[in-house]
Structure 1
């Protein structure tokens, strides 16, 4: 609904006033007076003649003013409409920006969550790889340690085997040396015992070609414990036993091994 200001009502009043003046001008500007009639006795009234152009100009000004008022009202309405539209646009733009900002924040949040998730996955992958590497290194160290221990064991076994062989060789050598020593000592003392017995054996020509085997048992000091004939010529056996008894205490080694070889000896008497 259009609203009119006081100027409009003033304009309407002026139009009514001008119309009235025109009517008055038309009725009283040219009065008809009879020729022979006497002039009435009245006071003359000044008539106001209104020029048509002036009226038109006045009307045009009024119309222009009215049009200006209408244009002003229309401009105000357009300005108001524009302000409303601009306000709506600003509100829509603000809403669009708000929605865009919300979406941007949601997208940024989503991207940040995705980045954090990727970072967690990357760290988890690195941790798994680190543990796998540690496991591989531990297994490698364990394998190397096992190989080292196996090599040490084999080396120890080799050294022990060599040492055992060396000890066995040493024992064998010592045994051979000992055996040789015992044999030599036995032979030496046996020869000394035989020499002692021969020195105390009395022989005669009747024993030529005859023999007698006599077993002699000695103590560790060389003392003759027993003498026994094992068979042979009687005379040779009797003279042999007498020779052993006359020899008395025999030469004897203090080495038990040599004594064991000499404690029971068999002497062959032969002429």
Structure 2
């Protein structure tokens, strides 16, 4: 392609070199052989010219490549230099920031030192004031100590007297407790003796106790029913109640368990009204009656 372009360029150049203003001269035709030789000579010149142009183009291309390579090299160097410069700028910026931090720390440290000095001065002034105050208080204390010594002697005398009185009362209390313990021990021994006796008699008296329990249970039931305000709606109905009794028959607690609500309310009211129910003096009988469940069935005439 390059060779063809060169040939076309040479032909245009040769045509351009022809003077068209001149009138054509009469050319005497030469013999055929010399004409061929002239054409050969002209082609050789053209080829030489083409070769020179080609060489020139190649030289220019090499120079252009060298120039481009140089430009690329300079661009790389410039890029590298710019990167180094940016890195240096970053380092300088980091150093600047670090210096700012160090300056701030130094300023903060200076302020802290100033504050500490101020606090120490205030502390020293406070300590001096406190020392003076303590000195004054010491004088007052020394003055009060003399008065306190006299008061202490009087208090010691009073305390000694109070201690003697306390010991006397403590001795009396000890004697009282000892007597009470002795009495309680005697009562326990008597109770144990009675319990032993009751145990010995329990087998023979079991039937008697049960009979007494049944008798008093019936009496308790009859007493409650006697105090019930009867209503015809209660006929044939009942209520089961729980009773807790003291040794003298006093009702300490009562509760309706189940049954007709009307009868239960009436039974509860009757128990509260009675307050105290029949109770045997026999301990065995009382033990079986102190907590009992009863069926209350009010009837006409009770």
Same-fold status (TM-score > 0.5): no
TM-score, normalised relative to structure 2: 0.37
Higher gyration radius (CA): 1
TM-score, normalised relative to structure 1: 0.41
